Structure 1
Amino acid sequence: MPPADRPPPEKMMFQLNLRRRGISDQRVLRAMDGIPRDVFVEPADRDDAWLDTALGIACGQTISQPFVVAYMTERLELRDDNRVLEIGSGSGYQAAILSRLCRQVLTIERFRVLADRARSRLEQLGCDNVEVMLGDGFDIPAEAGQFDRILVTAAMEQIPDALTARIEPGGLLIAPVGPPSGRQTLILLRRTTAGLVRKELIDVRFVPALPGIAREL
């Protein structure tokens, strides 16, 4: 067994793999190191929690591959005073990472089961600056306001104007854009004084973003 003051080998490889794949932001790496991914996976998958792979969760959804979580987080260029919107809470893992890097996170989930489980896990880890809302990511309540950063964790065929309108001046949005089956491309939008500037990043694969609140199973 490794000494008590050293992380287990699988967690050491987890960090090493992120660095090898180009994640260099030390704040992001510390957040990824500090949030236990095994808390967010299904019990049967805990032995695989530190592998760099997506894993299935309830309601036919997934917890994203750690590299993709770190990559998207790094590209958000988060600051301590940022207010962040996440569309698609899933297991709550991405919101937990965000919570360590910004002032406030609002994460919206259409499945009640997932929202309740994510809320419980986040409370357990002391992520007190995260609010989990059961809702429709395509129809965000007006009172939610504007956001410095927006992160979409489900595939959209196009980014709706109603969502880009929520980006504060100087703010960023990242979303996987493309067909619901197959690969999508991560798109980065930056709001400048001249308007929205679009940049294509890497190809990814996400479950589709769907409108409405899911009916109870």
Structure 2
Amino acid sequence: MNQTPTVEDREGFAAFLLRLRGKGMVPKPLIAAFESTPRRGFLSGQHHAIAWGDRMLPIECGEAMEGADLQAAVIAALAIEPGNRVLEIGTGSGFTASVMARLAGRVVTIDRYKTLVEQARQRFEALGITNAIARQADGSNGLNDGPFDRIVVWAAFDSLPRFLLDQLSSGGVVIAPIGPEEGEQVLAKLTKVGSRFEREDIGVVRFQPILPGLASKL
């Protein structure tokens, strides 16, 4: 993976940073983590020029990478602390796992597509990221390998995923879209307090529903 930023990279990142500042979202560790993760290396060449934009871009297996602004907003809301153990459901390109690995102690990222998992592993290795682990797994019920301090889900549950309580440490945070398969969902931030969640809705999104099982071919 070529990590030398191009003029397009620098201009795109500068525009991205300006948008974040306009929203009042500029935690220095978060910005540094994004800046040190070459986004175009996670996309096909035809999308390099718009890598830092705020729209979803296609990746392999018929999936898509979320816009940079949404990714930044979600990771900022997670408030990852050094040493945190993070579970990501929906590896995608591996970009968000790479960013979070620069903030956390360990990131476990899972996806139902073997192709995406293998590509993410290659990208972690190319970037020298040793604290992010990619696995092919069914994320519809989380991952019984916790507890985790933070959990982020890039696909929508149709109802509150209460089963994630058991996979979360005390005071831990889940961010997940909740809502119907068709149309918009609410992006919810769920904080574990005792044996329940405190919920804060932080936005509206339109994600694909979470699918059970593993992909049979890809």
Q: Normalising by structure 1, report the TM-score.
A: 0.91
User: Following TM superposition, by how much is the alpha carbon of 1:126 offset from its aligned partner in structure 2, in angstroms?
Assistant: 1.3
Is 1:57 aligned to 2:59, yes or no? Answer: yes
Q: Which residue of 2 aligns with 1:18?
A: 20
Q: Which 5+ residue runs of structure 1 have no aligned equivalent?
A: none
CA distance in 1, matches of 2:162, 2:193: 16
Q: Which residue of 2 aligns with 1:170?
A: 171
User: Following TM superposition, by how much is the alpha carbon of 1:174 offset from its aligned partner in structure 2, in angstroms?
Assistant: 0.4
Question: Which stretch of structure 1 is more off in the superposition, 8-17 or 169-178?
Answer: 8-17
Maintained 8 Å contact 1:138/1:163: no
User: Following TM superposition, by how much is the alpha carbon of 1:25 offset from its aligned partner in structure 2, in angstroms?
Assistant: 1.6
Aligned residue for 2:82, secondary structure, equals coil
CA distance in 2, matches of 1:116, 1:79: 27
User: Following TM superposition, by how much is the alpha carbon of 1:59 offset from its aligned partner in structure 2, in angstroms?
Assistant: 1.3
User: Following TM superposition, by how much is the alpha carbon of 1:138 offset from its aligned partner in structure 2, in angstroms?
Assistant: 2.0
**Moved >3 Å (runs of 4+):** 139-142
Q: Which residue of 2 aligns with 1:151?
A: 152
Q: Which residue of 2 aligns with 1:207?
A: 208
Q: Which residue of 2 aligns with 1:33?
A: 35
Q: Which residue of 2 aligns with 1:123?
A: 125
Aligned residue for 2:31, secondary structure, equals helix
Maintained 8 Å contact 1:183/1:203: yes
Q: Which 5+ residue runs of structure 2 have no aligned equivalent?
A: 1-5
Q: Which amino acid aligns with 2:211?
A: L
Match of 2:113 among 111, 114, 129: 111
Question: Which stretch of structure 1 is more off in the superposition, 133-142 or 181-190?
Answer: 133-142
CA distance in 2, matches of 1:122, 1:181: 34
Matches within 5 A, 1:2-17: 8-17=10-19
Q: 1:195 to 1:139 in 2, by over 3 A?
A: closer
Question: RMSD of the alignment, in Å?
Answer: 1.8
User: Following TM superposition, by how much is the alpha carbon of 1:140 offset from its aligned partner in structure 2, in angstroms?
Assistant: 4.6
Q: Once the two structures are aligned, what percentage of the paired residues are identical? A: 36
Aligned residue for 1:138, secondary structure, equals helix
Question: Which stretch of structure 1 is more off in the superposition, 79-88 or 39-48?
Answer: 39-48
CA distance in 1, matches of 2:177, 2:129: 26
Aligned residue for 2:135, secondary structure, equals strand
Q: Normalising by structure 2, report the TM-score.
A: 0.91
User: Following TM superposition, by how much is the alpha carbon of 1:11 offset from its aligned partner in structure 2, in angstroms?
Assistant: 2.2
CA distance in 1, matches of 2:77, 2:143: 26
Q: 1:190 to 1:139 in 2, by over 3 A?
A: closer
Maintained 8 Å contact 2:146/2:168: no
Q: Which residue of 1 aligns with 2:98?
A: 96
User: Following TM superposition, by how much is the alpha carbon of 1:145 offset from its aligned partner in structure 2, in angstroms?
Assistant: 2.2
User: Following TM superposition, by how much is the alpha carbon of 1:141 offset from its aligned partner in structure 2, in angstroms?
Assistant: 5.0
Matches within 5 A, 1:178-189: 178-189=179-190
Aligned residue for 1:79, secondary structure, equals coil
User: Following TM superposition, by how much is the alpha carbon of 1:171 offset from its aligned partner in structure 2, in angstroms?
Assistant: 0.5
